[in-house]
Amino acid sequence: MNSIERGTFARAVPLDDLSLRPKPPRPSTSPNLVLAIVCVGICLANLDLFIVNVALPSIGQDFKDASLDDMSWVLNGYAIAYAALLVFFGRLAERHRRNLSFLLGVGLFTVASAACAAANSVGMLTAFRIVQAAGAALMTPTSLGLLLAVFAPEKRGGAVRTWTAIGGLAAALGPVVGGVLVAVNWRWIFFVNVPIGLIAMVIGWWKLPEIEGHDAPRPKFFDAVLVTGGIGALVFAIVKVSDWGFRAPAIGYSFAAAAILLALFVWRCLRTENPFVDPAVFRIRPFTGAALVMAPYSAAFGAMLLSVALWEQTAWGWSALQTGLAIAPGPLMVPITSLLFAGRLIARFGAAPVVTAGIVVFAAGLVAWATLIGPEPHPAFVIMGMIPTGIGVGLTFPTLMGVSAAGLPPSSFATGSGVINMIRQASLAVGVAIFVAIIGSPSSLPERLVAFQRGWWVMVAIVALGLLPTYLYLRQKPKAP
């Protein structure tokens, strides 16, 4: 174990601890096969994310009494629950066999997807989406835990980038698949997860290596409640501020509740013997840098996903299929950029220049929409925004995930990945909330255009905030590609 790991993680387990090694794998199991199986987790999550964004207007038409504020909770309820439960389930998973925890997460996600398809109100759909998020929160950190346990240290960064890129490919298919399924019925966007989940469970039970857990402290559920309540109160206040105004008592109470709950959560993490999020993880400089960049980047990313689908369907009157086809070039650029270019660029220049380029290119896509989009439908303008945002995501997100994972000791793989994904998901919810608050409820197309343009410019400013921590924390060139 290196000096950083010894000094930072008091509870870290030695690298040669047998509990961290997989049992002798089944004859046909290899690291690449494990990678293929666990990629199902990120594929399910990404398919669901992009499909739901494309289908949101159709869901709103089916539930006629639902406002945009109400519908935003179909996205935000999922993101908040996912964010809060990632670390909780990541910590629990470290105590148990990771292959079984992964399969349990896939199973829960699959069952919840079927329940979402049967929902008959926005409230019921949001509730089942929260259960779906719980399944995703269990399978995501355990999938990374499996991945990092079976790959040699020098290959982990590449494995994480591949895992992320495969998720990007699923995201690329998401808008088109969603458009086709919504043309039949929006409920099929959730049914599509069921056969994928069942196949993954069968193959995973047969092929995944048995990676035992270790004697890690049990996380406290009360801390998960604190962070969930804090993020939920913050998102609620942001979403409602445009309707009720800053002077409304409910807005003030919500912001106050968010501040108190999140402050108490941080205090408990700093003071308790068994913190929900170990502060020691933030003493690893690359991890801290990745977390600080991930927050503004993810907020802008979440707003981007929602805004384009909303604009095309509510302002231009496009169908879900037209919307999906126009959006698809962006997500398609993620795996292409990540697999073909990101790894080589990181090896040559280091993480900071790659992340910087990703942020700048992503922002350029938002600028394209803010300056080119008008009241008349124009597919070329959408694509001119989607392609640079996709390239930006392909450079930024896989690099941040690889940087954050590379410095973690093996005993904290699941927890560390849970922390970084918690930040990502919470920021997605905040970004969606900010954009919904900015656009409000415009009564005419010109007002809607001005509101969306304002929202895109705000997202440019937000994603640009990631440049400072990139410069401060990620400039050191990695020792190995």
Q: What is the pLDDT of residues 37-76, one digit of tens each?
A: 888 877 887 777 678 888 888 888 888 767 888 888 898 8
Three-class SS of residue 274?
Answer: coil
Task: Kindly report, residue by residue over 280-326, the tens digit of the pLDDT.
Answer: 888 888 889 999 999 999 999 999 988 998 999 989 999 888 998 89
Q: Which domains does the chain have, with CATH numbers?
A: 29-212+221-473 (1.20.1250.20)
Task: Kindly report, residue by residue over 160-190, the tens digit of the pLDDT.
Answer: 778 877 776 776 677 788 888 888 899 999 9
**Residues 71, 119: contact at Cβ < 8 Å?**
no
Q: What percent of the chain has pLDDT over 90?
A: 33
The winner for highest mean pLDDT among 116-130, 202-216, 237-251 is: 116-130
- Helices (H) and strands (E) counted in the chain, each on its own, are 19, 0
pLDDT the model gives residue 410: 65
Q: How far is CA 315 from CA 214, 265, 349, 456, 481, in A?
A: 54, 41, 42, 15, 45
Q: What percent of the chain has pLDDT over 70?
A: 88
Asked if the model's pLDDT at residue 355 lies above 90, the reply is yes
pTM score, whole prediction? 0.81
Asked if the model's pLDDT at residue 89 lies above 50, the reply is yes
**Residues 146, 99: contact at Cβ < 8 Å?**
yes
List phi, psi (to 5°) of 211: -100, 110
Query: How far apart, in whole angstroms, are the C-alpha atoms of residue 157 and residue 26?
Result: 25
Per-residue confidence band for 460, with pLDDT thresholds at 50, 70 and 90: very high
Q: What's the rounded mean pLDDT across residues 117-129?
A: 92
List phi, psi (to 5°) of 22: -65, 150
Asked if the model's pLDDT at residue 477 lies above 60, the reply is no
**Residues 386, 365: contact at Cβ < 8 Å?**
yes
With a CB cutoff of 8 Å and minimum separation 6, the contacts of 232 are: 80
Query: How far apart, in whole angstroms, are the C-alpha atoms of residue 171 and residue 169?
Result: 5
Task: Kindly report, residue by residue over 376-409, the tens digit of the pLDDT.
Answer: 999 899 999 999 999 999 999 889 988 887 777 7
Query: How far apart, in whole angstroms, are the C-alpha atoms of residue 6 and residue 460?
Result: 40
Q: How far is CA 202 from CA 103, 196, 270, 282, in A?
A: 9, 10, 42, 38
Residue by residue, DSSP assigns 53-75 as: HHHHHHHHHHSTT--HHHHHHHH
CB atoms inside a 10 Å sphere around CB 210: 14
> Exposure of 351 by Cβ count < 10 A (0-12 exposed, 13-18 middle, 19+ buried)?
buried
pLDDT the model gives residue 411: 62
**Residues 38, 102: contact at Cβ < 8 Å?**
yes
